[in-house]
Amino acid sequence: MGAVTAYRKVTVPIFICALGVSMLAQRGGGRFFDQERNEAPMPERKAEFHFLRLEYTDLPQHHRGWGYSSRDGRGAGWWMMDWPDAENHFTRGVQRLTRIDAGDPRHVRLTDEKLFDYPWIYCTQTGWWDLSDIEVTRLREYLQRGGFLHVDDNYGLDSSFRREIKRVFPDRPLVDVPLTHPVYHIVYDFPKGLPKVHEHDGLPARGFGIFLGDRLAVYYSFSSDLGNGWEDPEVYHDPPAVHEAALRMGVNLFVYAVTSRPTP
């Protein structure tokens, strides 16, 4: 696609015109990429959907490199938590549970013009992100044009994440997403809301959000850790039902993201 213009909106895949979601037979902490322990990134393949992870710069006092880097060598840091296992497994789950054409997971910075080619972005460990003023403006623009941000895995980082997201929308607070909202019912039914994946401090899982008009633009999965639920079961030894619940909740979030529209 061409360069981003001031009027360009977030691209929505063609398949959404006749959403091909098919509910098939139902079956029932985080780490950095390490070649000895983690699986390799999926081969590149152009498709209608790509899991998109947001790259960001760590706050200097919290930077964690450990020598691990992304596939194209574009850095290291907290944005890579659970990478690439979480998105590999999530992508395979989308392929298994829906008819969505899901390709290889990808990652970009907010300043990358390709950001607007993706309707849904995922970000983890955001309590330690260090967004520049330009990135704050860019994220606001992305969300206002119809993009969707899922923020996950903020164990112990709640206050710092809230401080940073307030820079993006100073006048729009994070609120509890109602249990009647489509993110809990659009494909799979979650009558009690966000599923609990990890114990953390024993607090209940809660789904917070920022609404732009009637559209949910930011979803913050608090005290749950969906990304760890997308990891290989051998990592945290969670029961299969927990992993399946995390995957299905992720499918709900993605389907909502690509079918919702910004308020005129």
| Lowest mean pLDDT across 12-26, 74-88, 102-116, 180-194 | 12-26
For range 129-147, the mean pLDDT = 91
> β-strands 120-124, 215-222: how paired?
unpaired
| Confidence grade of residue 17 (pLDDT, cut at 50, 70, 90) | very low
239: left (phi over 0), alpha (psi -120 to 50) or beta: beta
CB 80 within 8 A of CB 91: no
CB 192 within 8 A of CB 262: no
Q: Which two tokens stand for residue 46?
A: 């152009």
| Confidence grade of residue 88 (pLDDT, cut at 50, 70, 90) | confident
**pLDDT of 69:** 40
For range 187-212, the mean pLDDT = 90
Is residue 138 predicted with pLDDT exceeding 70?
yes
Is residue 62 predicted with pLDDT exceeding 70?
no
Q: Is the dihedral of CA 18, 24, 28, 34 positive or negative?
A: negative
Name beta bridge partners: 221.
207
- Domains (range + CATH), the chain: 45-259 (3.40.50.12140)
Residue-wise burial string across 98-119, b where 16 or more C-beta atoms lie within 10 A, e elsewhere: bebbbbbbbbbbbeeeebbbbb
| Confidence grade of residue 58 (pLDDT, cut at 50, 70, 90) | low
Longest dimension (CA), the chain: 49
Q: In what order do the strands lie in the sheet with 120-124?
A: 106-109, 52-55, 120-124, 148-152, 215-222, 206-212, 175-176
Cα first-last separation, the chain: 24
User: Within 104-224, where are the H helices?
Assistant: 133-144, 158-168
| Lowest mean pLDDT across 76-85, 118-127, 150-159 | 76-85
Q: From residue 189, how far is each of 44, 51, 96 by CA, in Å?
A: 32, 22, 18
**pLDDT of 80:** 60
Query: φ, ψ for residue 26 (rounded to 5)?
Result: -85, 130
Round the CA-based radius of gyration of the chain to a whole number and report it: 17
Q: What percent of the chain has pLDDT over 70?
A: 68
User: Within 114-192, where are the H helices?
Assistant: 133-144, 158-168
Q: What 3-state DSSP class applies to 214?
A: coil
| Confidence grade of residue 73 (pLDDT, cut at 50, 70, 90) | very low
**pLDDT of 38:** 55
d(CA 78, CA 126): 8
Mean pLDDT over all residues of the chain?
Answer: 76
For range 141-156, the mean pLDDT = 87
Q: From residue 78, how far is each of 55, 91, 127 by CA, in Å?
A: 9, 21, 10
**pLDDT of 11:** 57
